[in-house]
Amino acid sequence: MKKYFTSLNIIFAIEALVVILASLGIIPREAVLFLTGLVVFYMIFSPVSDSLYLTIMSIPLFVALPFTETFDSMAGWRILIAALFLCLFFKQGISINLIKDSQGKFRLKENLKHNILEKYLAPLFLLISLFSIFIADYQVLGIKKLLFLINAFLLFLVIRNLAKSKEAIIKIFQAMSFAALVVIAVALIQFLVVLFVPLFAFWQFWTEKVISVFYGQNLSDLLSYSNTWFAYYSVNPPTLRLFSVFPDSHSLAMFLILSVPVFLSLAVYYNQNKRKKIFFWIATGLSLAIIILTGSRGAWLSILPVAGVAIYLFVKRLDRALVKKSLITFLIFGILFLASSFYPPVLYKFQSWQDSGNASTTFSFFERARSISRLSEISNKGRLEIWQASIESLIKYPILGVGLGNYVKVLDEDPSAAKKGASAHNLYLDFANEIGIFGALVLILMFLYILWISWLVFRRSGEPHFKIFGLFFGLYFLWVMAYSLFDVVLLNDKVLLLFLAECGVLFSIAGLIKIGAPKKD
């Protein structure tokens, strides 16, 4: 038991307790300010590796900092990741190792020649984004978004500096899995609570208490009358679309899609430990089930091409034992999707609805799935109108777009709409409109390069758990890329942090097995 009472675990337990109590309204929101100070204090006096593990574990628990009544939505992770980077900077000499050597000679170029993404693509993407701000109507919005992207990218840099051994990478996997398990736990709590609490009461409690703590009062006020937490049907009453600690269901689906490769890598790592192996397979199943219960049609639809790729790899006889595991996960997804038809009837049975006596208990989730092809459906119609406006704007501003963070100009909306999540509902169109066609192409090249590195890790790594991470991260990132055709939730801060952490691990594994710039495999 003594091994569990480490300073890392104690700080995390305190963090979880404070966030839970603040979310329940038992203690004031301002308590998270003291919590942030405590975590920074811990980082200063603890090993940087432990601070990194704490940061990753805490991704679901990052809350908004209530500095004042009008400025209460700044995410706490921005301070903590900056503090983590500075701790690495001063404790392990990132300024010396990354920029200068012991003789004072600059080594920045040498240290950035690990791969094309770090040396060319990422800096070029940020440079184009910076240039686009100069022509933006709302430059403050552009600066905020650029700082947001850089702030999140610091986590990638920290992992690239610290994940230099197999043991360190496994610990990072464990921290990621812990974060994902917290997300799953909250989603399951939501699932159980709405069996006994009316949806309206749940809605009001979550917006007034939980959302205000995690995202600030402005978003709380917005979601109190407009959100995507419920699925509506022509005959049946509404059902809850699980969303866990996120402001919307789509972000939860994306987060869990990215979590599955980590769970399966640990399941393979603990292959000789039957209890842990089964545990991580169960976590995988729960992730896939919750993805379905988010009601995100984009997530359901975008799995199809990915499953097709997995079948192709299986037919090509490439590590069929590992590829078979990917096919099993897609089969589990299909089975769970069929089983999800029982969710609405179960919910209706426990809840009291005025018209529940006339409510049909037919396959409501299939009704929602069928709505994907209905162009007259409100959500689909809205997306098509936004895509049309985006294409027209792209033709008008093809080089640098309308400016980073300025998508509101495409829709001719007030700048305040940016806080409400105005977007193209397509990640590629979103960036193409904001920073131009060339910037969007650089983004796509970054994504393709990440896929290439994951393929090389799968093909060349001698460690089974690293091979399966390369395979599953590649397949599930392809799922993310397809999903991004319908939404921009990769830019949700918690989703983006997990994605960058996994990319940091992927490139660290590539470094361990001596993969540099892409070569013919």
- Residue partners of 455: CB distance under 8 A and separation at least 6: 470, 474, 521
Q: Is residue 23 part of a domain?
A: yes
pLDDT, residue 107, reads 44
DSSP 124-185: HHHHHHHHHHHT-S-HHHHHHHHHHHHHHHHHHHHHHHH--SHHHHHHHHHHHHHHHHHHHH
- Residue partners of 76: CB distance under 8 A and separation at least 6: 32, 36, 62, 63, 64, 65
pLDDT, residue 108, reads 41
Q: Is residue 77 part of a domain?
A: yes
For residues 373 and 81, give the distance between their C-alpha atoms in angstroms, rounded to a whole number: 42
Number of alpha carbons in the 13 Å side-chain half-sphere of residue 354: 0
For residues 237 and 361, give the distance between their C-alpha atoms in angstroms, rounded to a whole number: 10
For residues 103 and 94, give the distance between their C-alpha atoms in angstroms, rounded to a whole number: 15
Look up tokens 């200068």; give the residue.
Answer: 100
Per-residue pLDDT of the chain (521 residues; tens, 9 = 90+): 566 788 999 999 999 999 999 999 999 999 999 999 999 999 999 999 999 999 999 999 999 999 988 888 899 999 999 999 999 988 775 433 444 444 544 444 444 445 788 888 989 999 999 999 999 989 999 999 999 999 999 999 999 989 989 999 999 999 999 999 999 999 999 999 988 888 888 999 999 999 999 999 989 988 888 788 887 766 667 788 999 999 999 999 999 999 999 999 999 999 999 999 999 999 999 999 999 999 888 888 899 999 999 898 888 877 778 888 889 999 999 898 888 877 777 776 666 543 444 444 444 554 554 554 454 455 566 778 888 889 999 999 999 999 999 998 888 877 766 666 678 889 999 999 999 999 999 999 999 999 999 999 999 998 999 999 999 999 999 999 999 998 999 999 999 999 999 999 999 999 888 775 444 44
For residues 176 and 284, give the distance between their C-alpha atoms in angstroms, rounded to a whole number: 13
Q: Is residue 66 part of a domain?
A: yes
For residues 263 and 195, give the distance between their C-alpha atoms in angstroms, rounded to a whole number: 28
The answer to whether 75 touches 81, Cβ cutoff 8 Å, is no
List, as own/partner pairs, every contact residues 80-83 make where C-beta atoms lie below 8 angstroms and the sequence separation is at least 24, other chains included. Answer: 80/36, 80/39, 80/40, 80/43, 80/55, 81/55, 81/151, 81/152, 81/154, 81/155, 81/158, 81/497, 82/151, 82/154, 83/39, 83/40, 83/43, 83/44
- Residue partners of 315: CB distance under 8 A and separation at least 6: none
Q: Is residue 184 part of a domain?
A: no
The answer to whether 501 touches 172, Cβ cutoff 8 Å, is yes
Nearest residue to 347 (alpha-carbon basis) of 470, 478, 197, 220: 197
pLDDT, residue 359, reads 41
For residues 131 and 478, give the distance between their C-alpha atoms in angstroms, rounded to a whole number: 29
Question: 51 is in which domain, residue-wise?
Answer: 1-106
Q: Is residue 504 part of a domain?
A: no
Give me Rg for the CA atoms of the chain: 23
The DSSP element (H or E) to which 239 belongs, if any, is: strand 239-240
Q: Is residue 341 part of a domain?
A: no
DSSP state of 3: G
For residues 518 and 521, give the distance between their C-alpha atoms in angstroms, rounded to a whole number: 8
For residues 406 and 395, give the distance between their C-alpha atoms in angstroms, rounded to a whole number: 16
Q: Is residue 351 part of a domain?
A: no
For residues 181 and 183, give the distance between their C-alpha atoms in angstroms, rounded to a whole number: 5
For residues 145 and 404, give the distance between their C-alpha atoms in angstroms, rounded to a whole number: 7
Give the CA distances from residue 191 to residues 186, 207, 235, 279, 344, in Å, rounded to whole numbers and listed in that order.
9, 16, 22, 20, 11
For residues 35 and 491, give the distance between their C-alpha atoms in angstroms, rounded to a whole number: 25
Domain total in the chain: 1
The answer to whether 153 touches 500, Cβ cutoff 8 Å, is yes
In whole angstroms, what separates CA 145 from the centre of its chain? 17
For residues 141 and 406, give the distance between their C-alpha atoms in angstroms, rounded to a whole number: 7
Nearest residue to 291 (alpha-carbon basis) of 236, 330, 349: 330
Q: Is residue 30 part of a domain?
A: yes
Nearest residue to 265 (alpha-carbon basis) of 154, 335, 180, 157: 180
